[in-house]
Amino acid sequence: MVNSTMYLEVKNLSLSIGEAHILQDISFSLNKGKFLAIIGPNGAGKSSLLKSIGRLYKQISGEILFEGRSTVSMKSKEIARLIAWVHQAGSTSLPFTVKEFAKMARYPWQTALGLDTKQDVEAVEKALYTAGVEDIADREFNTLSGGERQKALIAAALAQGAEVLFLDEPTSFLDYRHQVETLKLIEHINKKENMTILLVTHDINLALHGADEILALKHGKLAWKGDSKTLLSEGVLESIFDTTFQSFFSDGQTVPYVAPKGMVF
């Protein structure tokens, strides 16, 4: 019987590509409106897990349910109305302005004629405002800094009007200021806009201080899932990353920061 209190249920998910077994028998569940961070060493299957849940990979076994409904039964537009993506930042050329790109993200809701409705215009305006990119709305992506570009991509994801936001390494290649701004924006989207968040990150501290729950993968298998305090108290990090960690606090923090012992001087 499906647990009706759970928004997302992943049951016995496995992924193989050719002879490679990428993910093996992964099961977990998540309540609506929660922020889940997915961590693990390089090659653990973090991005593959996100892509499998979002049906970007089709060669999977197991079951993925949103509110009790299997994603296998959903059409592409239904998936797009459910899940919005912000993939890893790259150097791909995008010959569009920030506003044009956000308007394009409204495709799951548009008719065959593709005409903008009042709802489309309002959704784009709200997304640009929420992401803090109103002042660069008329600039082309190719002229933006890394931090501006990332916020613009998040704006487009918000304009899409989905219930869930998937982010794959959203702070990679950003300087410290823009890492902080991006994390604050993601937390705002989660807490104020009530979007469910699934975020892949190699930054353990981002997971510890931003997410409600953390899921850890190792060698394509589920190694652990729980909250940040339990992750640290059980010494799970050492077994996942095969190295020792040291914790330290700053003023006002209830959850410590961590770093590999060899990096703390």
State the pLDDT at residue 23.
98
Amino acid in the structure at residue 19: E
* Segments of the chain assigned E as strands: 8-17, 20-30, 35-39, 60-66, 69-70, 83-86, 164-168, 196-200, 213-218, 221-226, 245-248, 257-260
Q: What is the DSSP letter of 66?
A: E
Determine the pLDDT at residue 257: 87
Distance of CA 15 to the CA centre of its chain: 19
User: 140, 96 in Cβ contact below 8 A?
Assistant: yes
Fold for 32-57+75-234, please state it. Answer: Rossmann fold (3.40.50)
Angle at 8 between CA 171 and CA 61, to 5 degrees: 95
- The rounded average pLDDT for each run of 10 residues, N- to C-terminus, in the chain (265 residues) is 73 94 97 97 96 93 96 94 86 84 94 81 97 97 92 96 96 89 95 96 92 96 91 85 87 82 63
Position 218 scores a pLDDT of 97
| pLDDT in the model for residue 1 | 40
Query: CA Rg, the chain, in Å?
Result: 19
Contact status, residue 206 vs residue 171, Cβ threshold 8 Å: yes
Query: Tell me, what amino acid is at 64?
Result: I
pLDDT of residue 97: 96
CB-count exposure of residue 242 (10 Å: 0-12, 13-18, 19+): exposed
Total-model pTM: 0.93
- The span from the CA of 257 to the CA of 204, in Å, is 9
If you write DSSP's letter for every residue of 159-181 in order, what string do you get? HTT-SEEEEESTTTT--HHHHHH
In contact, 212 and 35? CB cutoff 8 Å: yes
Cβ-contact 66, 43 below 8 angstroms = no
What's the CA gap between 211 and 118, in Å, rounded?
34
Strand partners, 21: 16
DSSP-based three-state secondary structure for 199: strand
- Residue 180 CB neighbours (<10 A): 14
Instruction: Output DSSP code: residue 243.
Output: S
